[in-house]
Amino acid sequence: DQQVKQNSPSLSVQEGRISILNCDYTNSMFDYFLWYKKYPAEGPTFLISISSIKDKNEDGRFTVFLNKSAKHLSLHIVPSQPGDSAVYFCAARSSYNQGGKLIFGQGTELSVKP
């Protein structure tokens, strides 16, 4: 039972354009969402998060949108840079599950071409 899904295994965009990474979830108890970026042979690094009481959160070039009714979130990267090439994971947690239990999607590999 995949509660968090990233249906696009890969995405390729041109440098300077917008990258949009999508994530769907099925568990309505999820109330906090995070995006992580991962390079090969390294651990995931935190990018941006959003609480379910918001529908948008921005941090520099990164914006996360949350559509609770559709159980969908997306990460926008504008403008995209070659250094953004990595695997991006969305993750969700529920306040009913105490602590550090995150449910991750399968990841989307972003390639930004110069």
Question: Is 12:109 a contact under the CB 8 Å cutoff?
Answer: no
Q: How far is the CB of 52 from another protein (least distance, A)?
A: 10
Given a contact cutoff of 8 angstroms between Cβ atoms, the answer to whether 4 and 104 are in contact is yes
Interface stretch with another protein, choices 14-22, 58-66, 71-79, 105-113 (CB under 8 A): 105-113
The CB density around residue 18, as the number of other CB atoms within 10 Å, is 13
Closer CB to another protein, residue 41 or residue 70? 41
Work out how close the CB of 22 gets to another protein at its nearest, in angstroms, rounded to a whole number. Answer: 15
Residue for token pair 């529920």: 94
Residues 42-101 that bind another protein (CB under 8 A): 42-46, 49, 51, 89, 91, 93, 95, 97-101
Q: Are 78 and 63 in contact (CB under 8 A)?
A: yes
Rounded CA separation 53/32 (Å): 9
Question: For binding to another protein (CB under 8 A), which residues are involved?
Answer: 31-32, 34, 36, 41-46, 49, 51, 89, 91, 93, 95, 97-107
